A and B are shown apart, each in its own frame.
Chain A
Amino acid sequence: MPTLFGSNGWTRLRRFVQLAGVAVLAVLVAACGGSSRSADQNTDAKSSGGSPASGQSIDELTVVVPVMSDALDTTKASVGSLGTLLLGLEPLMRYGPDQELTPNLAESFEQDGATTYRLKLRGGVKFWDGSPLTTDDVLASIAVHRTKGTASFIAGQWADVKSVRETAPDELTIRLSRPNPQFVYALAQTGIFSKAFAAKHGDQLGSPRVLTMGTGPYRFESFTPSSKAVLVRNEDYWGERPRVGRIETRVIADDSNRLLALQSGDVDAIIGIPLSQTKTFSRIPDFKVSDTVDYSVYKFNFELDKKGWDDIHLRRAFAHTVDRKALAGGVLGGAAPATTLVPPSIMEGLLPKDEVAAAYEQLGSTLPAFDLKRAKAELAQSRTPKGLKTTLLVAGSDPNLSALAQTVAQNAKKVGIELDIKQVDDNTYFNAVYFKHTTDGLSIDNYGSDGPDPVNIPNNALNSATALPGGSGINIADFRDRGIDELFARGARLEADDPARGPLIIEALKRSAAELPYVPIAYPRLYMGLKKDYAYDGFSTFWWLNRWPDQIAASAS
């Protein structure tokens, strides 16, 4: 096909276009935002705005979000995309900004032993069409994640559930096949929809012309897959009156367009500012950027059964070429260098701060430090003393992966490890890195937790159950250690907030560090921007589990 612009290498072209566009824009923004404050002055690590004027209504809010689902369907959403969906299809339990789970559509919730949960359904709740919420609706909403062959994104969170039954009028009892303290968070991620509406629309449920039917504080008015959703206040909501009259959540994929949209004032807030753009965003006049710790980690992964990388000396040699401090401060714009898979602040949910600090210091000393001489020495002891050439895939959707890989590649080349970095589309990347483990043995990813529990990432990355061929493959290293599996199993028998789980997780992290299945690089921060007219109270990495529009208020300052 003839083309004005050329059509080869779409991904590279688009990336180039984005980068070039951002460069052009950065100049324009700098030129026109001369009086605005510097990035450092404008970035507030703790607060997300002035004092919120609580209770004050907001007519309209346009928010750029990092991701949106392909359909308004609870089986098609996880993590960030739940941020829009759960406003309409609300869950039984709501995870609040205070990091507490509170009953929502469930009026009460109690745990009976390690494997039994009882929920009493809230009475008098109605769907947007006026029909009452029943246990049948809840059972149907849960069943879609549990039926054999389900394609639900969050099926794994329901995998340990043995049965869900109505044991009394308006009472559900959920029994697990084995203890799992993370299960309670599944209740906060599972939206409840109308069974009758779902039955009526079949496989069209959640599509743009059908939408969906929930009980939430906001009901869907329109939807464009993976791009835009418009929600309006549910005036008949059973709980506290929703604060915002109309919310438009949007994904703007193009970096420069996103920046312009913010600059124009058409957008009120953005959640998830790309790390490469935080300084540019903070120069926008009348706009405030704030950040919070993100429960995610950038890391290199070694597939332990791949030739070459099955050698601890090669793994250690490569680890010595990773300058975590420089990468965190430079490429990732002020992230914290990582010493293990979990950010320390997340572990502080289970253990006292000083204990976490001591444990992390020890973990840090185990991790090979940036030292090219020692890298060469380790390589000399390996089965590939002359080094090797290996392909490293990076996903185009996260430019940080490429930037990190290219920076490390320069040092690795000095010791004889040559990285051939290839940018591929997300599907190819996910297929090779997560689903099939078909890389050359080395990969890089940014792994974010899909739930607030501190054990989430360690369990996913280190438990034999998540390795291939039987597991999801999220254990990229295919790391197996019975002792560590047992530590996770012991922790699972405890309740979610039992501090005794903390030392077990730390122990698992320490024991795995000796084998070096992963090289943690950095804990990025999550950035959010908001017009100065507003304040966002309690913004956190789990914003998508909160009823977040009601945390935004007209700023009193």
Chain B
Amino acid sequence: MTFRHPVLQFTARRLLAAALVVLAVSALTFSFIHLAPGGPEQTIAGRFATPEQLEGIRDSYGLDDPLPAQYADYLVHAVRLDFGNSISTREPVVTAMQDRLGVTAPLILGSFVLICILGTGLGTLAAYRKGSGLDRFLVGVAVTGASAPAFATAIILVFVFGVQLGWFPTFGDGEGLADRARHLVLPVIALTLVGVASMLKITRARVAQVLQEDHVTFARARGLRPSYIVGRSVLRNAGIQVVTQSGVILLALVAGGVLVEVTFGLNGVGALFIKAIEARDIPVIQAVSLLITLFIVLVNLAVDLLYFALDPRVRAQPAGARA
């Protein structure tokens, strides 16, 4: 109980801070949308709309109401998870996001899992073989992958595996589970290739460092199995940095995923967001911003909580020292 209590305290404090961050971001987003030139009424009524039509639309959506009143109205609905309907497509925003998450979630999470597995696995291998040909090869491949812009990687992948070999579709997100999975193979690989390098490098550096530490030498001297040493001594000690990096990568994948979605013609949350910004589709912009903010906050919180799980020294610190 003495262990759990500070964790709960920490979590509560972070959740409170997260709520304030979400509130601040939503207010800023709201202000920026209204400060931007143009408005949703132009998207709604098209290029030939008369001033009378535009005024009527602004009136019907309450776009000329005072901003604080509009924001308060938004907040009241948002806390009930009611984000209204998209101004441009008319579908409920929550439905639109659910549909788009069916593309974005597997794309981001699939890439993330691959990056974690490949990055930590190959990074550990490279650290164990530091200075060898294998080490140089792995680092070289990773750096090449990270250096190539995602769009170039994507195009080459599509050209080779889509056009020349015909193994995978070249565009779109497919219908049904199997078709969707087929459509996401190349986007996931493209995103993984870009992200795996940073995970490999941090793992390699940290594992190589830990391998020099006394407790690993003692573990080897005691004749413990190498797999046990890697799992219990090496990776656990390298874990804090790896977990920190994984959080950074996961958030970066959200941003990188937008570009990959556009390049592969995927109808994911990123593509929805870009379209909403272009159309000044306020309900969608607000909801997606909120989703991304929440995701960032929760990932950071999860990373912090993982520190507790990985490192007993962190658990032992007084709560105030971590805030």
Contact = CB atoms under 8 A, between A and B. Distances in A.
A104 B265 CA distance: 36
A257 B170 contact: yes
Given A263-B163, A427-B37, A225 B89 contact: yes
Given A28-B159, A260-B171, A432 B37 contact: yes
Given A222-B175, A253-B265, A472-B49, A5 B259 contact: yes
A468 B48 contact: no
Given A207-B91, A426-B278, A430-B38, A257 B252 contact: no
A261 B171 contact: yes
A24 interface: yes
A192 B227 CA distance: 70
Interface in A10-39: 10, 14, 17, 20-21, 24-25, 28, 32
Contacts of A425: 38, 277-278
B319 interface: no
Interface residues of B, number: 70
A3 B90 contact: no
A365 interface: no
Contacts of A7: 255
A360 to B, nearest CB: 27
Given A4-B256, A151-B53, A427 B42 contact: yes
B114 interface: no
A435 B159 contact: no
Contacts, number: 211
Given A4-B256, A471-B50, A431 B152 contact: no
A264 B90 contact: no
B62 to A, nearest CB: 14
A299 B92 CA distance: 40
A256 interface: yes
Given A24-B155, A264-B170, A252 B49 contact: no
Contact of A260 (B50, B95, B162, B279): B162
Interface string B151-169: 1100110110011101001
Given A21-B155, A149-B60, A250-B172, A207 B89 contact: yes
B256 A227 contact: no
A4 B190 CA distance: 12
B251 A227 contact: no
Interface string B17-44: 0000000000000000000111101111
Given A425-B277, A427-B280, A431-B37, A257 B85 contact: no
Interface stretch (A121-129, A179-187, A198-206): A198-206
Contact of A427 (B60, B95, B158, B278): B278
A203 B45 contact: no
A254 B256 contact: no
A434 B41 CA distance: 13
Contact of B194 (A4, A266, A434): A4
B89 A25 contact: no
A25 B155 contact: yes
Contacts of B166: 264-265
A385 interface: no
A264 B163 contact: yes
B8 interface: no
A48 B110 CA distance: 44
| 10 pairs of A and B residues whose beta carbons are closest in the complex | A153-B46, A427-B38, A431-B38, A149-B56, A207-B91, A3-B255, A225-B89, A70-B88, A264-B170, A4-B256
Given A5-B194, A71-B88, A435-B54, 9 more contacts: A2-B251, A4-B252, A4-B253, A70-B89, A155-B48, A225-B88, A257-B158, A260-B163, A425-B278
Interface of A: 1-5, 7, 10, 14, 17, 20-21, 24-25, 28, 32, 70-71, 73, 78, 148-156, 203-209, 222, 224-228, 250, 252-254, 256-258, 260-261, 263-266, 425-428, 430-432, 434-435, 450, 468-474
